[in-house]
């Protein structure tokens, strides 16, 4: 029995020593430099704690494209966590809460400005073929919005936003910013974008 305890204690001490050496080596490796994968993983982990307040404008700063994408993904994720209600009116028409946010991306200043609009109630109807992109996007004729379609989940919103950024990137330059609008209700989200003066 004593031999078993001594043998067990020896194994435990070897394991502890081995783990301590691994930690020391790991810290030495980290002090020599941080890989882009580690930066990416750290950002993803760190952004989970941050919550977007959709009641007031917020300015986020970023230094890398990875940080910019992480901020936008967090905004979209939090947008899908907002509870939006629906009800039937006296005419049995479906009325939905809708939250619209503009995400203004200024690559020159490396800022993202979130501009939420108050939650409104909208009557859901099929868009008529004559509706312009400006109207579909909640704007007025001549606002310059381009609709990138409807999405039914947050991954689609992220990919459509990236598509819009890629599509309009050639127009970006001095004092020009990408303005992405996401209009979300309980059924779907519409993604729109335009290039505006910063």
Instruction: Summarize pLDDT for 16-52 with one digit per residue, the tens.
Output: 344 444 444 444 333 333 233 433 444 444 444 457 8
Which pair of structure tokens corresponds to residue 2? 């004593």
Q: 61-115 pLDDT, tens per residue?
A: 999 999 999 999 999 999 999 999 998 888 888 899 999 999 999 999 999 999 9
pLDDT at residue 59 tops 60: yes
pLDDT for res 100: 93
pLDDT for res 35: 33
In three-state secondary structure terms, 99 is strand
Strand 58-61 with 111-116, pairing = antiparallel
What are the structural domain ranges in the chain?
49-197
pLDDT for res 130: 61
Question: Taking residues 160-172, what's their average pLDDT?
Answer: 92
What's the whole-number average pLDDT of the chain? 78
Contact call for residues 194 and 143 (beta carbons, < 8 A): yes
Contact call for residues 134 and 144 (beta carbons, < 8 A): yes
pLDDT at residue 60 tops 70: yes
Sign of CA dihedral 73, 127, 195, 168: positive
Q: CA angle at residue 147 from 117 to 149, to 5 degrees?
A: 100
Question: Taking residues 130-154, what's their average pLDDT?
Answer: 90
pLDDT for res 127: 57
pTM of the model: 0.70
């Amino acid at each position: 029995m004593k031999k078993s305890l001594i043998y067990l204690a020896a194994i435990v001490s070897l394991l502890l020593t081995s783990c301590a050496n691994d930690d020391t080596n790991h810290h030495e490796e980290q002090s020599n430099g941080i890989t882009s994968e580690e930066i990416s993983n750290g950002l993803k982990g760190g952004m989970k704690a941050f919550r977007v307040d959709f009641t007031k404008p917020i300015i986020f700063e970023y230094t890398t494209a990875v940080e910019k994408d992480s901020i936008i993904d967090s905004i979209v994720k939090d947008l899908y966590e907002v509870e939006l209600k629906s009800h039937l009116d006296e005419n049995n028409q479906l009325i939905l809460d809708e939250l619209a946010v503009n995400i203004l991306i200024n690559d020159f200043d490396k800022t993202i400005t979130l501009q939420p609009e108050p939650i409104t109630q909208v009557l859901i109807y099929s868009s008529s073929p004559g509706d312009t992109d400006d109207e579909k996007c909640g704007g007025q004729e001549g606002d310059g919005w381009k609709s990138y379609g409807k999405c039914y989940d947050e991954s689609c919103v992220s990919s459509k936003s990236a598509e819009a950024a890629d599509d309009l990137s050639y127009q970006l330059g001095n004092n020009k910013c990408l303005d992405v609008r996401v209009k979300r209700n309980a059924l779907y989200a519409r993604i729109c974008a335009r290039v505006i003066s910063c």
